Each structure stands twice: as C-alpha cells, then as structure tokens.
Amino acid sequence: MDLFDYADTYPNSPGYKEPTTSKAAAEKMKPLAPTLREMVLREVKTAGARGLTADEAAVAINKTEFAVRPRLTELYRLGLIRKTEMRRLNKSGVLATVWIAPEAA
C-alpha cells in the first residue's frame, strides 16, 4: 500500500459497515462525496462560531441530511471540523450536534 491507496479509504472515501446495501450506497456516493465535503466545509467555515447542524448544512447546500451527515463525520475524522458542546433542534425535533471549523473556536 502506498500513499495513493489511502485516497480510497475512509474518511477520504465513503465508508460502509454492511457488505451489501451499505457498500452499494457508499460506492454510488464515492464520486460525489469530495464535492459534497467541499460544499459542507465551505458552509461550516462561513457559519463561523455559530456553526451548523447537519440539517442546517443540508439546507445551505440544497441537499438532503442523508447526503450531508456522513460528510460531516468524514470532515471530522479528517480534522477539518470539530464538534461543539452546542446543540440545536433539528427538523425531527431532536437536539443535534453543532459543528464548527477549528479556526472559529
């Protein structure tokens, strides 16, 4: 394995835990994930210290929460964003993590 092999592994590439449907979804998302990560990261940085929940980020980039939530986790694992102690209600009425860029802390 060399340096370039890591581009195809989580969190640089969508992950999966289940080898059939979950793997198929990850493979389908693979070409889209880098662009979505960039879009989400830009919005999190723009939000500054206020941060964004997954639902808020999804609205900001006009995508579904299901496309955005995994990208936030990938960005977190890459060290590009961090969790805060803040929580805000999401559209399901549940408290959700607020994410910020490290420079906004």
Quick: pLDDT tens for 25-53. Answer: 888 888 899 999 999 999 999 999 999 99
pTM of the model: 0.86
> Could you tell me the residue range of the domain that residue 23 belongs to?
3-104
Residue matched to tokens 């092999």: 5
CATH of the domain at 61: 1.10.10.10
Q: What is the torsional sign of CA 25, 31, 51, 84?
A: positive
Evaluate if residue 8 carries a pLDDT over 80. no
Query: What average pLDDT score do residues 42-67 get?
Result: 97
- Count of domains in the chain? 1
Query: If pLDDT is split at 50, 70 and 90, which confidence band does 19 have?
Result: confident
Q: What is the pLDDT, as a whole number, of residue 104? A: 83
